[in-house]
Chains A and B, each alone.
Chain A
Amino acid sequence: MQRILNLACGSFYALGAYTGVSAVTWALGHGLPAPLFLLVLVASGLALAVIGPPVERLLRAVYDRDESFQLLLTFALVLMFEDVMRFVWGTAPVQLGNAYLVYGRLAVAGSTVPVYNLVVIAAGGLVALGMGGLLTHTRFGRIVRATAENREMSAALGVDLRRVYARVFTLGVALGTVGGALVIPATAAVNEMAIDVVVEAFAVVVIGGLGSMRGAFVGSLIVGVLKAGAIATWPEVEMLAIYVVVIGVLVLRPAGLFAGAAP
């Protein structure tokens, strides 16, 4: 909505992952029953969204400037956040104990699937539904959509752009931090995870269309399924497959599959 290319979104994800490990480890150490760790992860991710407003304040400096300034500033943030993570959590991989399998495993069609994976998929679906509901059925959602469509007109009609920007950005930060926190039981937090996720995230938004929620949803499904399909059938083309689609979209529909549609 702010029309800003934010590379630091990967850093929010990584910070969410690291904070999630610390929060759950602390809570389990203080007697939290293991199955409740999910609540602690979500709470720690939400709490971390407090970094949203100050970062948004910083980004105001580049809202109306060339994309190269935005990329430089947000990349600088990526590097700074990486240093913060290294300073606080060190360089070795950081992980949760055996939280991943607390909810058990399911045997599905000859494969074994950890129930936690299904919990995360369900959480993703809930977030998508929640965001859809927020944007289409609430007053705040209408203001956000109107501002994304035409910020001058919204401002002329009395919308306080600064407040809307701060809220939307903080919401975005919360999605990143909660996402990082939710994924951590299945993985380990490493310094480079911010970069790893942001590259794929950009492929997702290029395919879906910048600024489109529906596009992001469909784009992420396309990237995820393509990647898994390539690995299962022809592993050498794992990266290629994604970027062939990205190039195809850029050539045939440069603004993305869902550009121009309602967010």
Chain B
Amino acid sequence: MRTTRRQFLALSGGALGTAALRLDAAPALAQNAPVKIGVLAAKAGVLAPVGESGLRGVQWATERVNAARGILGRRIELIVEEESSPKDTVERFRKLSLQDRVDAVSGAISTGVGLALGPVAEEMKTIWLSWDATTQKGVEETLPKPKYSFRSTDNECEAVMASLLTARHLKGKFRTVAGINPDYSYGRDNWAAFLAIMKKYGIELSVVSELWPKLGATDFTAHVAALGQARPDLIFSCFWAGDTPIFLKQAHAAGLTAKSKLVLTTGGGVHEALKKDFTPEGAILGYNCLYFDWARASALQKEFVRWHHEKFKEWPNYESDHGYFTIVAYKAAVERAARAAGGKWPAPDAIIQALEGIEAESLSGPRRFREDHIMEATFFQGMTTHKNAYDFVTIDPVETMTTKQIQKPSGVGLYDWINSWKV
């Protein structure tokens, strides 16, 4: 049967009417309806491994919360979307907010995406719990006091910790330095922080080479040749993706890793790819906020690491911890706000207020959101060793520092903070 325009309009009107009725009916069902949490997880390109890792942390946290009666009796329902370009990710954030009517969004890794999401979260009045998209500079300038955005730890934490370890363990053992870092804000910020801290510690050095391969590069033979000519005593790099093993493999083949000490602030992001064949012992290696093989890890972390390895045949990296924390922090905040509201499901503003300063047990230990919406966590770094049962390097001893030591305090610029240190 052919539908006339008039019939179509009547049908559409009816459908819209039904939709309106359903929306009207929603509040009555809210107490039993699931809590919807949107997830923005990168699944393609250079961000894919960490995106997947963050999603696993979120999913594991959700399974556990749901198995223990959810949040105030409501199950968590995840609506997973993809993090890709800033423009597309913003569209998906809007879709999660407007169409799926999520209670909060967890996720996003890229700084560029984070810069775009910050203002949109405020505009949509949707709580956004970032995994890693720290957006430091942009948010400082465009959103000095975000209400709905809760951000990760600072970009430079790894560089600050690695620099402190360099000063502690390698002072006096190097004079010429080279940097090879990905050519975007993370790479530039980390390298600048490293040089500032070396200066603060009175370490006289000369920079013999600064290389800026683009993020996602897969060949470093020319960079390795340039480093070979520069002959640095120490090479600093904040590579964190597939670039790390490729660079190390090519540097090893050219004999570079035997001549230069290495400081790899973030290589633990792809720790299983750092095979003993080409990754030397004695390099400073950072794992961000989760070290899978930590003997002193909590029972929670050990359980997660076991589950992760059994299910995915891989040892987890830090992004799982960022993801896990967003879910348990949200749950803790809702419960805290509900206590103040006599046990009823709290309003979004009350949840936001409760998130400020909330502390929760995460995989790597206790974590919290500062009052200015920045995460606090523990970071793990150490010297690489081949003495383990794996075919890749681990660290021994494992050194830990908290964001109280390696993250600038609220309202202070990074370099003002570094200059204020008493060393």
Contacts and interface: CB of A to CB of B under 8 A. Distances in A.
Interface of A: 79, 82-83, 86, 90-93, 95, 97-98, 100-101, 105, 111-114, 116-117, 183, 186-188, 190-193, 195-197, 227-228, 231-232, 235-236, 238-239
Contacts of A100: 249, 253, 278
A98 B46 contact: no
Nearest to A186: B250
A50 B52 CA distance: 31
Contacts of A92: 49, 270, 272-273, 314
Given A101-B253, A235-B210, A192 B225 contact: no
Nearest to B254: A112
B138 interface: no
B13 interface: no
Given A93-B242, A186-B250, A228 B222 contact: yes
Contact of B246 (A91, A113, A188, A238): A188
B253 A93 contact: no
Contacts of A116: 253
A146 B404 CA distance: 72
Contacts of B45: 82, 191-192, 195
Nearest to A229: B222
Size category of the binding interface on chain B: 35 or more
Contacts of A236: 212
Nearest to B214: A239
B49 A186 contact: no
Interface string B344-381: 00000000000000000000000000000000000000
A191 B253 contact: no
Given A100-B249, A236-B212, 7 more contacts: A82-B45, A92-B270, A112-B255, A188-B242, A192-B218, A193-B218, A195-B45
18 contacts: A79-B44, A90-B314, A93-B49, A98-B278, A101-B253, A111-B225, A187-B219, A187-B250, A190-B216, A191-B45, A192-B44, A192-B242, A193-B218, A196-B217, A196-B218, A235-B212, A235-B223, A236-B212
Interface string B234-276: 0000000110011001100111000000000000001011010
B229 interface: yes
B270 A93 contact: yes
A155 to B, nearest CB: 41
Contacts, number: 116
Given A82-B44, A187-B218, A196-B216, A97 B226 contact: no
A188 B212 contact: no
Interface string B192-207: 0000000000000000
Nearest to A92: B49
B221 interface: yes
Given A98-B277, A98-B278, A231-B211, A186 B48 contact: no
A245 B46 CA distance: 28
Interface of B: 43-46, 48-49, 51-52, 209-214, 216-219, 221-223, 225-226, 228-229, 241-242, 245-246, 249-250, 253-255, 270, 272-273, 275, 277-278, 314
A231 B223 contact: yes
Contacts of A111: 225, 228-229, 254
B49 to A, nearest CB: 4
A112 B46 contact: no
Contact of B277 (A97, A186, A192): A97
A227 B221 CA distance: 11
Contacts of A83: 44
Contacts of A235: 209-212, 223, 226
Cβ-closest 5 pairs across A and B: A190-B242, A112-B255, A91-B48, A228-B222, A93-B242
B226 A231 contact: yes
Contacts of B314: 90, 92
Given A112-B255, A114-B254, A91 B249 contact: no
Contact of B216 (A98, A192, A239): A192
B49 A91 contact: yes
A232 B226 contact: yes
Contacts of A228: 221-222, 225
Nearest to A196: B218
Contacts of B272: 92
Nearest to A114: B253
A100 B253 CA distance: 8
Given A231-B223, A231-B226, A235-B226, A187 B246 contact: yes
Contacts of B270: 92-93
Contacts of A190: 46, 216, 218, 241-242, 246
B334 to A, nearest CB: 32
A112 B225 CA distance: 9
A188 B46 CA distance: 13
A236 B272 CA distance: 31
A117 B245 contact: no
A97 B241 CA distance: 18
Nearest to A79: B44
Contacts of A187: 218-219, 246, 249-250
Contact of B253 (A91, A95, A105, A193): A105
A196 B216 CA distance: 7
Contacts of A90: 314
Among B253, B270, B273, B275, the most chain A Cβ lie within 10 Å of the Cβ of B253
Contacts of A101: 253
Contacts of B46: 190-192
